[in-house]
């Protein structure tokens, strides 16, 4: 719940338009601590998450990250590029600032999701990316979301914010 007056100039900016994004990559993990497997299609189930992913039914039903942040994280590590599977997120999108989706509902393919929080790095980043991996991902880890309405998500599908009639 926000303490911000919904009619304030800042609230209008925060609730302003957000450019659609595009799905660049999708990955799932069948079990905890297992490698992330890239897939071209994911089936999302309401209240559960991605079918076949180990995180089903938790508050972090789906994790999303910006493709643009891969380059920044790679640069922080002194690498030319990074495989998105190393960051252990489910969906990589490009062209949208995911933090602007705070308290928002959005369509991803034919599914509808709601942002539940930021996706902070875990200690596995040191293990997977090497020394400094955790700090390289700080602030760039993306968001977590719950699945409101199930559906399919494919690479190249659009991520688009659903207008909230309660917002000014």
Closest CA to 48 of 154, 148, 119, 158: 148
How many domains, in total, are found in the chain? 1
Task: Determine the pLDDT at residue 167.
Answer: 45
The boundaries of the domain holding residue 25 are 17-90+122-161
How many Å is the Cα radius of gyration of the chain?
A: 16
- Other CB atoms within 10 A of residue 89 CB: 24
Residue 108 lies in a domain: no
Q: What is the pTM of this model?
A: 0.90
pLDDT value, residue 8: 84
* 95 within domain boundaries: no
Answer whether residue 153 is part of any domain: yes
Q: Quick check: is 85 in a domain?
A: yes
Output the pLDDT for position 164: 63
Query: Of 62, 49, 55, 46, which is closest to residue 150 (Cα–Cα)?
Result: 46
Q: What pLDDT is stored for residue 114 in this prediction?
A: 96
Q: How many residues does the chain have?
A: 168
Q: Which of 80, 146, 88 is nearest to 113 (CA)?
A: 146
For residue 120, the Cα-to-chain-centroid distance in whole angstroms is 11
| Position 30 in a domain | yes
What is the pLDDT, as a whole number, of residue 4? Answer: 73
Taking 70 as the pLDDT cut, the residues of the chain under it are: 1-3, 56-57, 164-168
Mean residue pLDDT of the chain comes to: 91
State the CATH number of the domain containing residue 153.
Answer: 2.40.33.20
């Amino acid at each position: 719940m926000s303490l911000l007056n919904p009619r304030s100039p800042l609230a209008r900016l925060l609730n302003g338009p957000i450019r659609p994004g595009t799905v660049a990559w999708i990955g799932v993990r069948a079990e905890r601590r297992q490698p992330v497997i890239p897939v071209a299609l994911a089936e999302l189930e309401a209240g559960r998450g991605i079918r076949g992913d180990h995180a089903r039914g938790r508050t972090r039903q789906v994790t999303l990250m910006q493709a643009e942040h891969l380059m920044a994280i790679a640069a922080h590590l002194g690498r030319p590029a990074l495989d998105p599977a190393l960051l252990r997120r489910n969906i990589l999108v490009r062209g949208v600032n995911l933090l602007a989706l705070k308290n928002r509902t959005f369509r991803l393919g034919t599914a509808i999701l709601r942002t539940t929080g930021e996706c902070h790095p875990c200690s596995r980043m040191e293990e997977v990316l090497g020394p400094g991996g955790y700090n390289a991902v700080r602030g760039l880890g993306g968001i977590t979301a719950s699945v409101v309405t199930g559906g399919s998500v494919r690479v190249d599908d659009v991520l688009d914010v659903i207008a909230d009639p309660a917002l000014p």
